[in-house]
Structure formats: C-alpha cells, structure tokens
Structure 1
Amino acid sequence: MLDLLTTVPSAETIKMLKTVIPIGVGIASAYFVVKTIRDDGYSLDKSIPTVPIRRGDYTHDYEYMENPGAFLKRCEEKYGPVFNCNIRGAPFTVISGAIVREIFTNDDFSFKDAAEDITGSISFTQSIVKSCKDKDAATKVLHEIIRDNVSNQIPLLTPRIVRQMTGVLERDMGTCDRKLVENPMLLILEMVSTAMVDVFMGAELAKNPEVVQTFAWCTYDFGQVIGPQVRASRFTKWFIRMKYIYLFNPLPKHVKVLIRAATPVILQRRQEEAEAVAKGVPYNRPMDILQGLLDDFEKYNFIDIDDVCGFLVVLVLTAIHSTTDSCTNMTFYLAAYPEVVEPLYQEQVEVLDQVAKERELERQEKLKSGEVRSAKDFEGTELDPKNDRDYTANVLKRLEKMDSFIREVMRFRMEKLRLEHMAMKDITLSNGMVITKGKKIIVNVRSVHQDDKLQDGNAAEFLPWRFVGKNKASTPSVGYLSFGMGRHACPGRFLAVQELKTVASLMVSRYSKFEFQDPTKTTEALLALIGSNVPTGLYFTSRVPENAPTQAV
C-alpha cells in the first residue's frame, strides 16, 4: 500500500514546464537575491560572543555534527550561555541553561515566524486552506480543533487507536521468528496513519486504502519540504521552496482525495441527522474530528468542504510526521536496550490483571445489589468480561515504566540544538544581552536535557526508569523540552504520547525480541535526526511460536 508510485510526465506537462519554470525561476531568483541582501545576520548586540569557524570549514555545522554534545559543551564553557553560531545554514544566537526558560515565557519570541523563515512550513500548509490565511489565526483555530475534538476525547479514542494499530500488525506481521523489516518507519507510518484516519474521519474511512495512503504520503511530502532544509544552504532552501511550495505543491492532490472520500460520508451523516430530527430522537453523532468540524463549521469560520478537508490535511501533517518519527525511534531503543522489554511486558501483565480483578469486583457488586440480575446481562456493556484485558486509556495511564521509558527516549534522543524562535522586537535577556528584532535564536537543548541537576544525576546515561513516579511523558518542563514549554507547548502532546504508549505496548506484548539488522548502525539509529533516513532494518521475534494463534489484545 505504501509503495511510492512513479509517473512519466505527459507532453502537455512538459510544454507547460518549459513556459512556467523560467518565469518562476526569474521571480524566485529576484526574491532570493533580496532576501540574501537583507540576510538575517547576528544580533546587533556586539557583547554576544561569536564562535570562530574552524579553519577550512564554512559553517559550524561540520564541527557540530562530529560531536554535537562536545561542541556545545566546549562553547558554553568558553563563551557562556549565550553565543553566536552559523549553524543549519544560517546565523543563530544559541541560548543555554537557565536563560532557556525566557524564550518560552516571552511572547515576543515567535516559533511560528522562525519556522516560516527557515523552512516555509507555514506557507506550505496554509496553501490548502481557504480561511484563516493569517498564520496566527490559523494556529489559534488548529489549537481549538485539537482541544475541542482530541484532548478531551482521548479515553474514548484510545480503543479505536489500539484496534486499528493491532489490525495493521496482524495483517503485515502476523507471528514471526526473526522477521526482517527493512524499513521499520513504513510499518509504523501505516499503523499511525490508519489509526489517525479513524480518529480524524471515522472507522469506515479507515478501511479506505486511498485515504490511509494519502494520510501517509502527505506526511512524506511534508518531510520532503521540511527535512532537507534543516541544514541546507540558502540556495538549496530556495530551490526546495520553489519546487514544493510554489510550482509543484503536492498537498492539493491530497485534499482532493479527502474531499472525494468525505463527501458521501458527510451527505449520509446529514441525512441521518435530518431523519433523527424528524423523528424527535437524538442524533447519534460519530466521534471523530470530521464531525466536530462539521458541527462547528461557523465557529471555525470555514468556507466550504474544501476548506474543511484542507484543515484536516494540516492536522495530519502536525499529528503524524513527528509521531511516526518518534515511534520508529522508540522501537530502535527497544532493540538497543533489550533488558527493558521484559519489565515493560510484565508491567502490562500486572496492570491488566489488576484491572480485570477490579472489573470483576464491580460486576459482583452490581449482582449483589440487584442492579444487574445475571452475569449474562453484562454482555455487550462496558463491563463485558470479554473486554477485561483490553488496552484502554485507564490501562495505559497506569503503565508508569512505559511512560518513563518514553520520556527518557525523547529526552535522550532530542537533537542538541532545536526549537528555533525569532525576536519580534528588540528583546533584552536577563543577562543584559539584546536579541535584535528579526534575528533568530536556537535553544541549546543539551544544556538542559544533559544537566545533572535537572535530571537528578547521570544525565549523560540512558536510564529507562528515570522518571517512574515523577513527571509524565506529556508534561513539559525546563528540563524536558520535547514538546516545548509554557502556554505554547504542543497542544497535541497528549494524543502523541498516547500513540507512543500504544505502539510500545503492542510491540512488547507481541514481540519478545527486537534486533538490529546492522548492529554497527546502533548509535546512528538512536540519535537520528527527525526526518532522516532509517539507517538499519530490524528483526522481530514473536512471543508465540510460528503458526500459533496470535496473542489476544
């Protein structure tokens, strides 16, 4: 399903390109020259030290990539918590240590504007929505959609996510003995995409291969725009934007797929709603984001169904790209640290046993009180015994070791320099240094994620149970920036963590062993940058013998 199809351009297409490309290149070249002339540059505050570029290098990227942690530590020790670097193809002021908090608590530092300046991601996503062309208004609407339709519904959404992900594993993997998955990201991508189609558009459309494929490939297209620009030269960034954003934007085709698939579903729902109103009975509204957008059409100021589907694609891009990447990386950690697999599995067994006992006690109390006449009456209800060992939100919430493992993976793996922001006016930091309006800063994540005091010691080690009984994987803090911090923290983090827990729970419950196809790629796999190619495949070994019945979930 996820194979990339290739097509040969038609004669008409080639003729059009001969006309359009020179014009586009001319316009874009003029834009590129203007932007280069007004180049970002460092902050005008000359008291901020600038790290010298190593002889023979053009930027600090070469030295940084050799050993990111060592490079940043050396810079901190020599230049202090604030210093200038030419990194990721652009000049940034690096912010470290205690000053990092100021970036997230000061609204005059903008993540959105930095993202647009560096990758054009806002222009890319907003190209497919008709309303909310202002990036701040669009962000506000996206946050409202997530809050209204996702964050408060996770307990109800979890069984559906589990069901869809389980179905993909059973179909694509079955039971196996050292089955090689050459690109684990494709397996994870299909699991996440199928689950998200259910959450976004309903269970029926989750059976539609074209919709699942477009969820997956619009994510791939997003990565093609964002990923290559992270450390690209200004010319390369210009070329990527011209190709994917202005000349050959791939997103409209994905919107058309959703419009085609959603239209009959919407018509059917409207008909059922009208019939319910005519009969004077409540309409049993489907629980998915599509229905939420239809119900609050005016609240969100949507224009038409094209606009609705455009926002659905934007939500897909924000929900699937990073989650798939994190889930894949987490699976590599299961292979790199095989000693964690059994403790995680045993924790699941213990929690499921406890939940089953609690449900049985509740059934007995209802029988004893006369509220329920016989055990048979529980069939088809929330207390149906056949559901005693389901993975519910309640079960996942109790998995403290799993939560700690996920938080530690995200803390340990997160790139040492990330979370770019732009100063929207001159901003004076607490140490007196000034970030000039229009200049960009980047957060030295190493300075907090590898700080012994913030991590209760041994910050340089991967300790899977570090956070047991402490902060949750979805809880941002100054020592844990995987989801940002403050009131601008990622609004979709609760769903993301629930998906991470689900993937990890299914993996350790179904497979007893994960092994690298190429063990020499272990370090590269664990610290791979978001959007980078998967460096090695994985072998999966089921908990049950070959050809035995699949373990019930």
Structure 2
Amino acid sequence: MIGLLSANTGSVPIDALKVALPLGIGLATAALLTFKMTSNPYDKSIPNVPIRKGDSNHDKELEEDQDEFLIRCEEDYGPIFNVRAFNQDLTVISGPMVREVFMNESFSFGDAMDTLTGVRAFMMSVLKSHKDIDSRFTHELVRDNISPNLPLFTPRIVEQLERVVDEQLGYCEGKVVEKPIKIVQDMIAYAMTNVFMGPEVAKHRTVIDTFIQVTYDFGKVVGRENRKNAWHAWSNKTKYRVLNPLHKHIEVLTDAAGPVIEERRRQEAEANENGVEWDRPLDIMQRLLDNNEKYGFVDLEDLCGHLLILILVSVHTTTDTSTNLMYYLACFPEYHEPLFQEQEEVLGQIEAEQEELRQSKLQSGEFASVEEFVGTELDPAHDRDLSAAAIKRMVKMDSFVREIFRYRMTRLELQHLAREPVTLSNGTRIAKGQMVVINLRSLHQSYEYQGEDPAEFRPFRFLGKAKAATKAATDFLPFGMGRHACPGRFLAIQELKTVGVLMVSRYSKIEMIDPSHKKRALLSRIGEPCPSGLIFTSRTAPTKTEA
C-alpha cells in the first residue's frame, strides 16, 4: 500500500484558466458545428412523428400527457419512431425491441450521458487510476465488496437510519416538515458513510455535509432533461476539467480518512507483534486498502476519489427515491397498515423461530441456561432486529418499492448512443452516433408485461410473482439490464425498504401539507422537489425512559 497516504493535489494554476477559458469560448461555435456535421441521419425507414402545429418540438405534448402521446405514436408508427424532445433528435425504441438495446454492447448509456452532459470530465477528474469510460472497475468494486457483505452491513445501515429518524423526527403529533428531503439526506449520508468509510470517518459532520453537497454538484452537471444538449455538454467538459468542485470534497475525505488509516495500521502492527488477530473494521475503505495490490490505487486521494464516486451515486439516487417513498405513503394511506402488519408478522415469526432454536439447544445440552445465549446469534435481545433476512421476508414492502419505480419513471428515459451501426432484428438500421431512447411506457405501463390495470398504482402487484425489486429485466428497467445492470441495486433496495419499514413502524400517519400536489409528488422526476411538505404523526407515545 505504498503511497496511500500521500496527498499531492496537482491542482491547475489559475494562470492556466486565463488561457483555457477564453480559448474554450472561442472554440464553442466550432464545437457545435462539428457536432452537427458528425451527427448521422436517421434510417429513412424510421418514421418521423409530425410536430404539432404551433410547436417546435414534442415537449409540450409529452408534458400534457406522455402516456397518451406515446400510445398514439405506437399505434400510428409502430415500435420504432423518431421524435424531437428534450433538445434532442431521438429514435424511440419500444416493447420487445428494448432488450436488444441493453444486450448489445454497441449501444452505450455512458456515451449518451457524456454526449448530453459531459459528466465524464466531472467524474474522471478525481480519479488517478481506472479511468475506464464504461465504469467496469466501479462495477467490480461494488460486485466484490458491497453485495456479498450486505447482510453484515445491514445492522449498521439500520442503526444510522433509526438514529437520524429518532433525532430529527422522533415522537410527533402532526409535526410539519417543509422539506423532508433534508432529513432523508442525513439518513442516507450517515448510513452510506458508515458502510463505505467506517464509523470513525462518519463522525465528522464535514464528511456528511460533503456527501450531501456532492449530490447537488452532480445534479448541476446532469441537469434537467430540457437542458441536455451539445452546448451544455461542451460547457461542462471545458469547465470541470479545471474548476471541478469534487476536488474540495476529496480534500475533506483525505483529511478525515488519513488519521483513521494511520491509527488502523498502528493497531494492526500492534496486534501482529502480540501474535493476535486484528479485528478488521467492516467497511469498504478497509477492504480496498487490504486489496490495494489487486486494485492498484495510486495514493489516498485516488482511493478517496473512487469512494467518493461510489457514495455520490448511492446518496444521490437513494435519497431521491426514499423521499419519494414517503410521499407515496402519504398519497396512499390505505397501504400503511398492511405494510406495518407485515413487519409485525415477519418479526414475530423470526422471534418464534429463534425461541424454538434456543429451546432445542437447551434440551440437547449444548447450552446450559438461557443466560448463555447473551452475546450470541441467539441472543433474545436481537430477535426483532431489522436484519437483512427479516427485510428480505417483507415481500409487501418489496412490491411497494418496485411499484414506485415502475409507476414513477419518466416514460422516455435511458438514452443510449450507438457506437457503431446496428441492425435490429426487425431490420431497422441504427446509424453510428444515433441517440436512441427507451419507451418505458411500452413496458412499465403495458398489460402484457405488468398485468391488470397497468396505468394504476397497485403496490402489491408483484406479490407471489418472483419479481423482486432487485430483479433487472425487460419489464423492470430502473437499474438497466444485462451486463451493465446497476450492481448497487441490492444495497439501494435494502435501504429503501428499511426507510419504508421505519416510516410505517414509527408513524401511523403521513400526510401531505397540500394534497393538491399529489400528482406532482407521484410523478416527480429525479431531483425535482415536491412543492408540498409532509406531516408526521407517531404511532405510539414515547415511554418515560425515551422521553
């Protein structure tokens, strides 16, 4: 692990900016012209959807009723057609043809995002190693270090989520919270920092704040749909190569992590000298340090850069969806009690199973008394803990979370750029450089794929159907599909379900301050705040000790 505690920032001198920025502005027009000249024409066989008289694109029709617009397009033009939306010329791919986009390596979601936003310059500037444009290394880190250890991380995640809920909401009788996302940000940031960097680093409020702020910085880069265009991308690529806000976040992380790593090394050396096994900390930072020979991080800044990218994505998306989950509980209060009853039943079943196992061990003589179970896996004090196994059994909550994703997602989403010419199975030719977009309506709101009432929110739609919220497939695409499916979805769903469980167990009622914003709350896009806050009412009064 040579060099892991070095911290040479290698910052760009301000004089460089005086040269780079004016030159960049002078090249802006040339860049835009080049983009237009290198754009490939559509296959003449792909029908163009006419733009409504008086409009300059299809944005207004999508805003008025995206489902109605897309159904009409599918009926009139088939599963593949061209539209002008979100400042882009897009080829819309629908139905079974969608799978071909996700399973063909010639289509790239990452290339599309970079073309539209310039996000790679933002992300890559804090990495010194593994700057692969397809993020395969990031996938490897998640696959090897997070998903297999999720049962071990769950108690810590639950502890942090519970602590923040109790501190910032606690017991309340009709407590008005104008911006519930602020509470959720703390919940997710504390939980993720504990998992990724350990409790010693997570105790620093500056670290928590940097993980919250970085989501705002990321949101500015990605931007709203109507801001994504060649100019937006070029501007970001130019700006973030030299003036990247991520660098200040890396400095916060290295300042906090450096002393922790040094202390851990001291403890490990001391344990080795005494011939005892060191109790290795359970967090991703330690796992990456232990495997630095395999991963080849350059120094501490590089390590923290990779951790920052992992946490950035986790906090940004999970905060957004967890907040949205609270609004769904407020909009559909009739499902509050069934979800709570499921939790009680599952924990009761586990408690009974644990007691049966304890009695069996007592009868066999393996344990002499009940007191001997204290501190073991059969400790009665932990029978009703929210373990990974317990949360996995809560299938109603799992279905609730999956249905939120299905119902909420924007109908035209998940753009992919063709890296080379592609001929689809129906003969349609997609030219190199062509931007395609997935028609999620044809899948997420389809009777064929979703069953009865696909246009309705039915939170228990997936019960008994072997369709977990983590299952990436053609009928459920929030996490992608195939080789590039999001490897962090298992952690994300675990957190979302835990947030839901905490909400229904602690609060008997969650209401919107202004119910007129219900539609906005249900269909808000990622990063789009709901104008209405929430009102929380606790399920039970605190005990004297809690008070």
Q: Please indicate the TM-score interval, normalised by the length of the shorter structure.
A: over 0.9
1:345 equivalenced with 2:340 (yes/no)? yes
Partner of 2:176, secondary structure, is: strand
Q: CA deviation at 1:548?
A: 6.3
Partner of 1:204, secondary structure, is: helix
Partner of 2:144, secondary structure, is: helix
Note the alpha carbon deviations across 1:122-160, whole angstroms, 9 max, x for none.
221111000122313xx1211111011110011111110
Structure-to-structure mapping, 1:29-178, within 5 angstroms: 29-38=29-38, 40=39, 42-43=41-42, 45-136=43-134, 139-178=135-174
Partner of 1:480, secondary structure, is: coil
Q: Distance in 1 between matches of 2:187 and 2:228?
A: 31
User: What is the match of residue 5 of structure 2?
Assistant: none
Q: CA deviation at 1:498?
A: 0.1
Q: Distance in 1 between matches of 2:370 and 2:192?
A: 36
User: What is the match of residue 484 of structure 2?
Assistant: 488
Distance 1:420 1:168, change over 3 A: same
User: What is the match of residue 4 of structure 1?
Assistant: none
Distance 1:109 1:548, change over 3 A: farther
Q: Distance in 2 between matches of 1:66 and 1:434?
A: 31
- Consecutive unaligned residues of structure 2, counting only runs of 5 or more, are 1-12
Note the alpha carbon deviations across 1:401-455, whole angstroms, 9 max, x for none.
1111111111111110111111111111111110001111000000011110211
User: What is the match of residue 9 of structure 2?
Assistant: none
Aligned mate of 1:216, from 204, 212, 218? 212
Q: Distance in 1 between matches of 2:258 and 2:389?
A: 35
Q: CA deviation at 1:324?
A: 1.1
Aligned mate of 2:221, from 216, 221, 225? 225
Q: CA deviation at 1:338?
A: 0.2
User: What is the match of residue 428 of structure 1?
Assistant: 423
1:467 equivalenced with 2:442 (yes/no)? no
Q: Residue 293 of structure 1 aligns to which amino acid in structure 2?
A: L
Q: Distance in 2 between matches of 1:533 and 1:42?
A: 37
Q: Distance in 2 between matches of 1:274 and 1:285?
A: 12
Q: Distance in 1 between matches of 2:28 and 2:354?
A: 64
- Consecutive unaligned residues of structure 1, counting only runs of 5 or more, are 1-12
Q: CA deviation at 1:84?
A: 0.7
Note the alpha carbon deviations across 1:6-30, whole angstroms, 9 max, x for none.
xxxxxxx999987764344234454
Q: Distance in 2 between matches of 1:230 and 1:147?
A: 34
Q: CA deviation at 1:241?
A: 4.9
Q: CA deviation at 1:180?
A: 1.2
Distance 1:74 1:169, change over 3 A: same
**8 Å contact from structure 1 (residues 227, 531) kept in 2:** no
**8 Å contact from structure 2 (residues 79, 93) kept in 1:** yes
Q: Distance in 2 between matches of 1:230 and 1:161?
A: 36
**8 Å contact from structure 2 (residues 40, 432) kept in 1:** no
Q: CA deviation at 1:484?
A: 1.1
Partner of 1:287, secondary structure, is: coil
Q: Distance in 2 between matches of 1:485 and 1:365?
A: 45
User: What is the match of residue 268 of structure 1?
Assistant: 263
User: What is the match of residue 182 of structure 2?
Assistant: 186
**8 Å contact from structure 1 (residues 176, 546) kept in 2:** no
Aligned mate of 1:515, from 493, 499, 511? 511
Note the alpha carbon deviations across 1:235-294, whole angstroms, 9 max, x for none.
345445545x24531111111110000001111111122222222322221111101111
Note the alpha carbon deviations across 1:505-547, whole angstroms, 9 max, x for none.
0011011111111111110111001121232211111112378
User: What is the match of residue 3 of structure 2?
Assistant: none
Q: Distance in 2 between matches of 1:277 and 1:380?
A: 26
Q: Residue 26 of structure 2 aligns to which amino acid in structure 1?
A: G
Q: Distance in 1 between matches of 2:292 and 2:29?
A: 40
Partner of 1:468, secondary structure, is: coil
Q: Residue 484 of structure 2 aligns to which amino acid in structure 1?
A: H
Aligned mate of 1:401, from 390, 393, 396? 396
**8 Å contact from structure 2 (residues 181, 323) kept in 1:** yes
Distance 1:420 1:240, change over 3 A: same
Q: Which moved more, 1:59-68 or 1:165-174?
A: 59-68
Q: Residue 343 of structure 1 aligns to which amino acid in structure 2?
A: P
**8 Å contact from structure 2 (residues 35, 230) kept in 1:** no
Q: Distance in 1 between matches of 2:514 and 2:420?
A: 49
Give the RMSD, CA atoms, in angstroms: 2.0
Q: Distance in 1 between matches of 2:225 and 2:446?
A: 29
Q: CA deviation at 1:234?
A: 3.9
Q: Distance in 2 between matches of 1:20 and 1:426?
A: 35
1:532 equivalenced with 2:536 (yes/no)? no
Aligned mate of 1:335, from 330, 340, 346? 330
Q: Residue 341 of structure 1 aligns to which amino acid in structure 2?
A: H
Q: Distance in 2 between matches of 1:156 and 1:67?
A: 45
Distance 1:29 1:264, change over 3 A: farther
1:543 equivalenced with 2:546 (yes/no)? no
Q: Distance in 1 between matches of 2:238 and 2:524?
A: 27
1:452 equivalenced with 2:447 (yes/no)? yes
Distance 1:104 1:115, change over 3 A: same
Q: Distance in 2 between matches of 1:229 and 1:297?
A: 39
User: What is the match of residue 22 of structure 1?
Assistant: 22
Distance 1:548 1:402, change over 3 A: farther
**8 Å contact from structure 1 (residues 175, 547) kept in 2:** no
User: What is the match of residue 414 of structure 1?
Assistant: 409
Note the alpha carbon deviations across 1:175-210, whole angstroms, 9 max, x for none.
011111111212111101100000001122222111
Q: Distance in 2 between matches of 1:377 and 1:70?
A: 65
Structure-to-structure mapping, 1:290-305, within 5 angstroms: 290-305=285-300
Note the alpha carbon deviations across 1:268-323, whole angstroms, 9 max, x for none.
11112222222232222111110111111121221111100000111012212111
**8 Å contact from structure 1 (residues 185, 328) kept in 2:** yes
Partner of 1:92, secondary structure, is: strand
Q: Distance in 2 between matches of 1:424 and 1:18?
A: 35
Partner of 2:244, secondary structure, is: coil
Count the aligned residue pairs.
534
**8 Å contact from structure 2 (residues 117, 236) kept in 1:** no
**8 Å contact from structure 2 (residues 520, 530) kept in 1:** no
Give the TM-score, by structure 2 length.
0.93
